[in-house]
Structure 1
Amino acid sequence: MAAAHVHVLLFPAPLQGCLNSFLHLSTGLLRAGLYVTFLHTDHNLRRLATTTEAAASTSPRLRFLSVPDGLPDDHPRAVDGLPELMESLRRTGGAAYHDLLLASLLRDGFFPPVTCVVADGVMPFASDIAEELGVPAIAFRTPSACSVLAYLSVPKLVELGELPFPEGGDLDEPVRGVPGMESFLLRRRDLPVQCRQLTNKTTTTHEEEPLLKVMVAGTLHCRRKARALVLNTATSLESSAVAHLAREMRDVFAVGPLHAMSPAPAAATSLWRHDDGCVAWLDRQAERSVVYISLGSLTVISHHHFTEFLFGLVAAGYPFLWVLRPGMLEGSQDAALQEAISAVGKDRACVVPWVPQRDVLRHRAVGCFLTHCGWNSTIEGIVEGVPMVCWPFFLDQQINSRFVGAVWRNGLDMKDVCDRGVVERTVREAMESAEIRRSARALAAQLKSDIADDGSSALEFKRLVSFIRELSCTTTTG
């Protein structure tokens, strides 16, 4: 089918990290000449109204539509409520999505019929509904390949007796049931943190932990039903995990880092408004002198954790740029902001609610990145060659941080510890270690080669576009 008639509907999970990756994917598909319908939830599209209008104006082949997620606007949509959000979206949004997709099988003004769906792999209903209507569906998983492999391995870990963990067991005990990770020590603490909530006293399977259940079920659905699996990674970065997933799936495309290969406008990818003043503050700092701290879009920390981070950063002695997202801190956020700034002075501390992270990470003043190790943040830091200090929170972040510290060696893994002395020591080492900086620069050089015209990721993206065109020829509209 000619590119002019190929129309892809993208349906991400309604979370900041997923939106990022899907928007970068949409940019690449538009560059390849395809039509793209990007499907938000009503709630997120209202938050992004101005930026999506601006993004849509850049291409006549891009449009943004939405479906309800079934929750009231004032619902916090926080970490503890993610299983509820996903179930509500399936139940309420699924029917609206069915009707929208059915209508999209007919020409809609300038847009040809939808010929292919790329849906988030944690939302099986989106692929199932598409296939029922005769539209081929591809799964896109936005976390790391190693974490997808870990989720795929959970039933085997249960079968082998490695899950559930014994109550009070050693979290440094090796885990042997995840294939392809024999070259380093994968520990219990490196599995998704929800695995720790399984104990012999409470359950014998993963089915009773709601968020883990969602992730495992989505991954298993990808293996059984998806026409292919798309990953926002490079084969050079996660070769073993990609290879093992390729044996389990019908096809696998490693097409990342998408933000470096086909970047969407920064404003369009953010549910929060950027504080651009932080870049001007960075301009006044010395080269590689600043510690940048961001714990992502979902992490919530206690005031105790905040205080330990703050005193550790002050003791380390470097200027810092700290993202304290609205609602991130338990207790009074305004008081915490003042506490952080007054601890070192405005010239040496900048605390803001949100930043244009890609611009920050590539800034000459940034010397290290204290991160939650979400996959978007991890690969953004890797692309810019910035050493990392990792304090993972949940989901894929535990295994990503293990790879940073033990496999790629471009940073340090501080998981499960929030102590001012540890913060001071690890930040200093990340800022000063020539070995870590060399590893970080080598990784950055490799990924830049991967996304170049004849690089592995660029070629994989071209193969993905060809695959979508071929699938589009199989779409039935009657």
Structure 2
Amino acid sequence: MVTETISTMEKTEVPHVLFFPFPAQGHIKPFLSLAELLSHAGFQATFINTEHNHHRLLHNNDIHNRFPKFQFKSIPDGLPPDHPRSGPLYIRDLFRSSRVSFRPALRELLTSLKEEKGPCQLPKCIIADGIMSFSIDVAEEFEIPTIFFRTYSAHCLWIYFHFSQLIEEGEVPFQDENLDQPISCIPGLENVLRRRDLPRIRRFENADDPMLQFFIRETSVLTRATGLILNTVNEIEGPMITRLGSFFKKVYAIGPLHALKSRINENSSSSSTSSDGILWKEDKKCLKWLDSKPSRSVLYVSFGSLINLSGEQILELLHGLANSEKSFLWVIRPDLIVGDATIGDILKEQETGRMERGLIVSWAPQEEVLSHPAIGGFLTHSGWNSTLESIVAGVPMICWPQISDQQVNSRCVSDIWKVGFDMKDTCDRSIVEKLVRELMDNNREEMMESANKLAMLARDSIKEDGSSCINLEKLIQDIKSMSS
């Protein structure tokens, strides 16, 4: 259906869409995938990055070949040049600086586009990140429709819509230290959530905490938009998507975007690749290492592009992995470890031979790794992109969430979809060893059966008659109607 639209769209009409993601890899990646899909449909794409991330994008990608129809624009992120730009503090500082520097930068950019001639004049639609609500204020000044793209799961967004209610009911802030206390006031999730499963911001001690109130405001503003885009699947998150429909004029569930983009690329003459790197240089030598391993014998370990870990946490994970006696491929970014210790220092202290089953790389082509037949499990931070990529690949997970929506995702993986284990709020070598053995040996068949069923739902959704493909077609047509 989308393929037909791409081939039959009138070439005289070129809708111009401006994409404005929050400046973190977990947000930029799905935004780029969506921009590629709309570019295939004949749209002109202008993509906004911060100057820092644009430099990294140029350094790690041949963007002119990878994104030939894109116009990239960059704006300052408002942070000092020596800011480390990693870890949870980076996100906090970005939230603060975005309120000050991004609004005037977007206004200035739209003013310059308005004065341009040709295909890259003022956009007919802005697709903005759902945690940058100021975008709709600026867009309304220029009378441009806005569609928000929330890069979290539907379950997580539904919980965000109930943070005020959690405060009113006395559920947040917590009255004691019992993190296993059930949360009962969120419709549809009464028998699922515990305190520890709420997004990380739930652990603030004061209901008036600025960051907590920030997210409450950001979520409420979403409903002003023309529509909401979610990188998810109706057949997997249908009940939550239906509930969110009560807040929005239109909801477009068009995930998994990475898989939908790959399928449409296969059916077109596009030269775009499925590279995951974007802001990091990939080490593809690990794929040859995987080629030498038996089927389903390797545990893939990666904690995403943002979180930081202490040397002690790395040691506990390392001992747990080594003691499990399973082969593992571990992504350790150069900026992953806080403090003076390096991974080289930590490895020197280990017994000879403890790492003989493992391979450490600085960044991996994750989609290719997860689809490799040697991979039997994924120890993950439960970021939504990683969760979706693991679901599509049919790989069961051990979830060790740290920030943001990851606590919600890990609960969904373990207790709703039953395709993995939830290891949140602990980092102990004996637990790591136990769960790796459970995932790779003791519960292997049961986990694989559940993972394969979920993978089938995700893969079916991106077929021509699948729900995500149909919803993408609706989005394309609705944006075209804005241009006419």
TM-score bracket for this pair, using the shorter chain length:
over 0.9
Indicate yes or no: 2:199 matched with 1:188. Answer: no
- Equivalent residue runs for 1:10-409 within 5 Å: 10-51=19-60, 54-58=62-66, 60-77=68-85, 78-168=87-177, 170-182=178-190, 184-198=191-205, 203=206, 205=207, 207-210=208-211, 212-223=212-223, 225-263=224-262, 265-267=273-275, 269-331=277-339, 332-336=341-345, 338-339=347-348, 344=353, 347-409=356-418
- Whichever residue aligns with residue 254 of structure 2, its letter is V
Which SS does the other structure have where 1:177 is aligned?
coil
Displacement after TM superposition at 1:341 (Å): 8.2
**Distance in 1 (alpha carbons) for counterparts of 2:385 and 2:68:** 28
Give deviations 1:62-89, integer Å, cap 9, x for gaps.
1111111111232122312323212213
Displacement after TM superposition at 1:345 (Å): 5.8
- Whichever residue aligns with residue 467 of structure 1, its letter is D
- Whichever residue aligns with residue 240 of structure 1, its letter is P
- Whichever residue aligns with residue 446 of structure 1, its letter is L
C-alpha contact (below 8 Å) 1:116/1:471 kept by paired residues = yes
Instruction: Label 1:378 to 1:340 Cα distance change in 2 as closer, same or farther (>3 A).
Output: farther
| Equivalent residue number for residue 470 of structure 2 | 459
Displacement after TM superposition at 1:107 (Å): 4.3
Which SS does the other structure have where 2:246 is aligned?
helix
**Distance in 1 (alpha carbons) for counterparts of 2:454 and 2:283:** 29
**Distance in 1 (alpha carbons) for counterparts of 2:407 and 2:416:** 13
| Equivalent residue number for residue 460 of structure 2 | 449
**Distance in 2 (alpha carbons) for counterparts of 1:64 and 1:285:** 41
Displacement after TM superposition at 1:103 (Å): 2.0
**Distance in 2 (alpha carbons) for counterparts of 1:152 and 1:336:** 45
| Equivalent residue number for residue 422 of structure 1 | 431
C-alpha contact (below 8 Å) 2:376/2:396 kept by paired residues = yes
Which SS does the other structure have where 2:232 is aligned?
coil
Instruction: Label 1:26 to 1:341 Cα distance change in 2 as closer, same or farther (>3 A).
Output: farther
Which shows bigger deviation, 171-180 or 378-387? 171-180
Which SS does the other structure have where 1:90 is aligned?
helix
C-alpha contact (below 8 Å) 1:181/1:240 kept by paired residues = no
Instruction: Label 1:341 to 1:235 Cα distance change in 2 as closer, same or farther (>3 A).
Output: farther
Displacement after TM superposition at 1:366 (Å): 0.7
Instruction: Label 1:213 to 1:273 Cα distance change in 2 as closer, same or farther (>3 A).
Output: farther
**Distance in 1 (alpha carbons) for counterparts of 2:455 and 2:353:** 32
- Whichever residue aligns with residue 374 of structure 1, its letter is G
Number of matched residues? 462
Instruction: Label 1:108 to 1:362 Cα distance change in 2 as closer, same or farther (>3 A).
Output: farther
Give deviations 1:287-327, integer Å, cap 9, x for gaps.
11111100111111122211111111111111111111122
Instruction: Label 1:306 to 1:221 Cα distance change in 2 as closer, same or farther (>3 A).
Output: same
Q: TM-score, normalised by structure 2?
A: 0.91
Displacement after TM superposition at 1:127 (Å): 2.0
**Distance in 1 (alpha carbons) for counterparts of 2:375 and 2:156:** 28
Q: TM-score, normalised by structure 1?
A: 0.92
Structure 1, unmatched stretches of 5+, are: 474-478
**Distance in 1 (alpha carbons) for counterparts of 2:88 and 2:23:** 12
**Distance in 2 (alpha carbons) for counterparts of 1:338 and 1:355:** 20
**Distance in 2 (alpha carbons) for counterparts of 1:116 and 1:449:** 29
- Whichever residue aligns with residue 227 of structure 2, its letter is A
C-alpha contact (below 8 Å) 1:369/1:387 kept by paired residues = yes
Instruction: Label 1:241 to 1:340 Cα distance change in 2 as closer, same or farther (>3 A).
Output: farther
Which SS does the other structure have where 1:5 is aligned?
coil
Instruction: Label 1:66 to 1:50 Cα distance change in 2 as closer, same or farther (>3 A).
Output: same
| Equivalent residue number for residue 476 of structure 1 | none
